[in-house]
Structure 1
Amino acid sequence: MRKKMPKAPVSVAAAIAISLLASPAQSFASPAPPADPTAQTARQPLERQVLAANDGWASLEAGTTGGSAAMEERIYDVSSRTELLVALASGAEPKIIRVHGDIAANTTPDGLPISCEDYAAGTGFSLSQYLYDFDPARYGTAKAPAGPQESARRLAATRQAATIRWDIPSNTTIVGAGPDSSITGAALRINAARNVIFRNLTVRDAADCFPSWDPTDGATGNWNSEYDLLQIINGSQHVWVDHSHFTDAPNLDTAQPSYFGRPYQVHDGAVDVTNGSDLVTMSYNRFSDHDKLLLIGSTDSTSRGDAGKLRVTIHHNVFENVGQRAPRVRFGQVDVYNNHFITSSTSAVPYGYTLGAGVESHLHAEANAFTLPAGIPLGSLIGYFKGKVITTSGNTVNGKIVDLRAAYNAAAPVEKQLEADDTWAPVLRTQVNAAQAVPALLANATGPVFTAGDAH
């Protein structure tokens, strides 16, 4: 009999407190992998499957097995925020969590919705007053906001963070019980954890109720939001993200107002890998209607422990109507192959670039397909962020092979030219398909498609 989570109310504070009990040492205890992951995956139900051998960086060393070895009493069926928090807080021993239906993050323990106004109640925060106090015409542009309204904004933001920021511990498999399983409004984290499988889930709209204004960010200032749909942070390792869908829809940033001449952006990243995390495979996911997709690497400094880490494989995913960072890389060895990047002429998300070459990045982009409307220059598919090298081979744009690096260099100034990267070559790969075949191959193959309990 599978364990069904209790319906008894659990306070928000208690649930969050329980989630902090596992120490970092506990979270890094990994079970031994099965003798033959490939064979086992082929015959196991969804929640018992493990990452196949040679399937990207997450298959290195002991591989990624998640909670596949969980005992029957550590299989949790959850359909509410309270049930999910209790399951996540149940320690680092192998566990399986199956999500049924949609779980809304901005809710009370009893399931009542929490609005942005509810988080702000009693803090003294007022958006209209905040805009008045920090209007650049009045406050200036030389320093970050400080004062009663900024303090109130921070307090309200802390309340939301305590409600929606959830950590997935080591040795966990979390899967959608069906193709309609989803989590809405949560800022999920794999935080100083190891050996996590995340599959078959739609994750949407981790909207920040209280974006911060920074007049010193860029030439004209920017609004910055706090939450990613999924963060892989603080030295986390061996993570497999598969057959999931990450989106802002229906609450797109383009529907938000502008203040101080800048978009009031309420979303940050989709899946970010930062702060020395390592050995990640992302496969057969769908990313749609989101601006800042995949940030790999924390800062241009080595202070976050990123150097020598951030090894990530991104293969057989669909990116549809996304803006930038697909991915943007610092320091890491990142293998990007057999993905389909689609931008429609009616996209609500403005297109910026796809592949971002940052400081000490080693990005290998091979056999990807780009479907683009007229008006997007070939040279804009690569973005320059102080990188020196990039590998691009066998990629197509609208069905035709294009040398993406050559197209970028033809449009870039001399000081921003990118050389070919001869320092490494990816070897941990499943079958590499010709780029011309990728659109048809992935047409109905990405995002949540499974039912838990079935073998695939």
Structure 2
Amino acid sequence: MRLRHVIAATALLGLLGVPAHADEGRDISRDTLPANDGWAAADGGTTGGSTADDAHVFTVRNRSELVRALDGGSATPKIIKIAGTIDANTDDDGDHLDCADYATDGYSVKKHLAAYDPRTWGSAKPSGPMEEARRASAARQAERVQLAVGSNTTIVGLGDDAVLKGGSLQVKNADNVIIRNLELRDAYDCFPVWQPNTGGLGDWKTAYDNLWLRGATHVWIDHVTVSDKGHPDEKEPTYFGRNYLRHDGLLDITNASDLVTVSWSRFADHDKAMLIGNGDTATGDRGKLRVTLHHNEFESLVQRAPRVRFGQVHLYNNRYVVPADAHDYRYSLGVGTESALYAENNAFHTPGHIEVADLVKSWNGTALHQSGTLFNGFPVDLLAIYNAYNSASERDLTADVGWTPTLHTKIDSAEAADRAVARGAGAGRIP
């Protein structure tokens, strides 16, 4: 076979999502988590799909190829390389699906709003034909956008422009997963549910996180960029006096997930960014939810960066940026029930109307170790200032979290880490 025929055949195989044997540039697909790099390095470490045979190394360019490569969340060692932009809201022929394509049984936003307007419906939970139509429509979207990631899997983006948009990667009851060098964008819920009694005023509840770990263990997330890019919630309308939310979390780690490292990633332009532990009564999370967050950038977020329940979370060398027009900012570090946050050498940049004490909020939590914190370039004692300013409205926090991290990379000064993260965090920036 002539060389040009070989090249053409190779290109065709790639388009079909069949096993790939080569990559552009440095091949990171068989990288494993370095020793001591956070909690995911414990108990044997995290190797993902690094042992995959050639038959289970795939390059994928659309949703159908990605679904075939994921193989229903199977535990077979596999490496999945994402090339270009994959839209999860597409049919089997690759044609884009919008919210109207998923709607069924007579559902429309207008009809749903009319049916459950609190002025006529009251405060009861929505029920009846229009709510059933919403649920059926939501199920049609979920079938397309929820993507199960199984054990022993590595997912990497090729080059500096790999994107999964509209999808919700879900690592459920799986072990040994690596996700790197990938932009995860706009997990957009077409069919939010109205919850009339939430927060006293009611609120809209959405279904999809860009990345959701549920009962997952040994997970390394590295150099990913996660945001609402394309459909920011702040531009959505207001219904029943509440913002019509379309997005849930950027990254949620719940349901006794354990041994997770999130490194050199960027979380941006979102409300509730990262939840670790999903309920105050989820006592099965005790002893789990051990998570390391290092060298990440949290920019233009309202809250949950992260909010923690139960877990032992090591938070070091991260960069926080609150923009000047962030009038809805609530907090960054949420200290929840039985949580134990160990924060070292993190840098915060905020506008003048945000004070040091605003960076932390206690959600029935009692423990926060902090050291080496920089606030707008100045060293501060985050814990002491929080206790001084919030003792009247929230309980004091103690520095004794009951543990000291031993699994970590070199911990730089907050100033040095701040510069490094600004240059190097996010997809397309693996050195």
TM-score > 0.5 by shorter chain: yes
Indicate the SS of the match to 1:49.
coil
Amino acid in structure 1 at the alignment position of 2:427: P
Q: For the residues of structure 2 that align with 1:5 and 1:148, how far apart are their CA atoms?
A: 46
Tell me the residue number matched to 1:179: 160
TM-score normalised by structure 1 residue count: 0.87
Is contact 1:372-1:398 (8 Å) kept?
yes
1:156 alignment partner, one of 120, 137, 140: 137
Gaps of 5+ in 2: 1-9, 18-25
* Counterpart check, 1:301 vs 2:281: yes
CA distance in 2, matches of 1:339, 1:422: 20
Residue 35 of structure 2 corresponds to residue 53 of structure 1: yes
Q: Quick one: distance in 2 between partners of 1:402 and 1:163?
A: 47
Contact 2:148 2:171 in 1 (8 A): yes
Q: Distance in 1 between matches of 2:122 and 2:369?
A: 43
1:125 aligns with 2:103: no
Query: 2:169 pairs with 183, 188, 209, which one?
Result: 188
- CA displacement 1:243-262 (0-9 Å, x = unmatched): 01001012100000000110
Secondary structure in 2 aligned to 1:66?
coil
Please list every run of 5 or more consecutive structure 1 residues that lacks an aligned counterpart in the other structure.
Answer: 9-43
Decide whether the 8 Å contact of 1:284 with 1:317 is kept in 2.
Answer: yes
| Of 193-202 and 380-389, the range deviating more from structure 2 | 380-389
In the TM superposition, residue 448 of structure 1 has moved relative to its aligned partner by 1.6
1-side partners of 2:126 and 2:56: how far apart?
Answer: 47
2:197 maps to what in 1? Answer: 216
Give the structure 1 partner of residue 84 of structure 2: 101
Distance 2:15 2:87 in 1: 17
Of 342, 356, 359, the residue aligned with 2:321 is 342
Distance in 1, matches of 2:349 and 2:15, equals 47
Matched residues in 1 for 2:375 and 2:12: separation? 49
- Please say if residues 2 and 72 of structure 1, whose CA atoms lie closer than 8 Å, have aligned partners that are also in contact: no
Asked if 1:420 is matched to 2:399, the reply is: yes
Counterpart amino acid of 1:197? I
Q: Is the 8 A contact 1:185 1:206 kept in 2?
A: yes
Contact 2:317/2:418, CA 8 A, preserved across alignment: no
Residue in 2 aligned with 1:32? none
The residue aligned with 2:7 is none
Match of 1:355 in 2: 333
Q: C-alpha offsets along residues 167-207 of structure 1, whole Å, 9 cap, x if unaligned?
A: 11110110001110010000110111000000000000001
| Counterpart for residue 381 of structure 1 | 359
Q: What letter matches 1:123 in structure 2?
A: D
| Distance across 2 between alignment mates of 1:260 and 1:423 | 45
User: CA shift at 1:111, angstroms?
Assistant: 0.7
Seen in structure 2, the aligned counterparts of structure 1 residues 413 and 225 have a Cα distance that, compared at 3 Å, is same
Query: Do the aligned partners of residues 422 and 275 (structure 1) sit closer, same or farther apart at CA in structure 2, a change above 3 Å counting?
Result: closer
1:409 correspondence with 2:387: yes
| Shift in Å, 1:449 | 2.2
Contact 2:15 2:61 in 1 (8 A): no
Q: Check the 8 A contact 1:76/1:96 in 2, yes or no.
A: yes
Instruction: Please state how far the C-alpha of 1:219 moved relative to its aligned partner.
Output: 1.6
Give the distance between the partners of 2:138 and 2:275, measured in 1 at CA.
23
* 2:52 equivalent to 1:73: no
What is the letter of the counterpart of residue 311 of structure 1?
A: R
Q: Looking at both structures, which has the greater relative contact order when contacts are Cα pairs under 8 Å and sequence separation is at least 6?
A: 1
- For the 8 Å contact 1:2–1:77, the answer to whether it is kept is no
Aligned to 1:31: none
* Cα offsets for 1:290-312 (capped at 9, x unmatched): 11111000111135x21110000
SS of the counterpart of 1:201?
A: strand
TM-score, structure 2 length as denominator?
0.92
Letter in 2 for 1:158: A
Q: Paired residue for 1:367?
A: 345
Q: Which runs of 4+ in 1 moved over 2 A?
A: 1-8
Shift of 1:2: 10
> Match for 1:225 among 191, 196, 206?
206
1:166 pairs, out of 147, 160, 165, with: 147
Q: Give me the identity figure in percent.
A: 46
Are residues 1:393 and 2:371 paired? yes
Distance 1:286 1:435 in 2: 17
1:444 aligns with 2:426: no
Match of 1:21 in 2: none
Letter in 1 for 2:105: T
Q: Which residue of 1 aligns with 2:256?
A: 276
Q: Distance in 2 between matches of 1:258 and 1:54?
A: 47
What is the aligned residue count? 412
Residue of structure 1 in register with 2:94 after alignment: 111
SS at match of 1:132: helix
What CA deviation, in whole Å up to 9, does each residue of 1:319-367 have, x standing for no partner? 11111100000000001100000011135x8311000011000011110
Give the drift of 1:422. Answer: 4.0
**3-state SS of 1:444 partner:** helix
Question: What root-mean-square deviation, in Å, do the aligned CA atoms of Structure 1 and Structure 2 show?
Answer: 1.7
Partners of 1:127 and 1:93 lie apart in 2 by: 42
Change over 3 Å in CA distance of 1:371–1:135 after alignment to 2: same
User: SS where residue 271 of structure 2 aligns?
Assistant: strand
Q: Which residue of the partner structure matches residue 251 of structure 1?
A: 231
SS across alignment from 1:88:
helix
Answer whether contact 1:46 1:450 (CA < 8 A) is retained. no
Distance 1:358 1:440 in 2: 30
- Is the partner of 1:254 in helix, strand or coil? helix
Q: Cα deviation per residue 1:33-69 (whole Å; 9 max; x = unaligned)?
A: xxxxxxxxxxx83111100000000000110000111
Q: CA deviation at 1:4?
A: 4.0
Query: Deviation of residue 450 (structure 1)?
Result: 5.5
Contact persistence 1:225–1:266 (CA under 8 A): yes
- Matches of 2:12 and 2:31, distance apart in 1: 19
Cα distance in 2 for partners of 1:3, 1:318 equals: 38
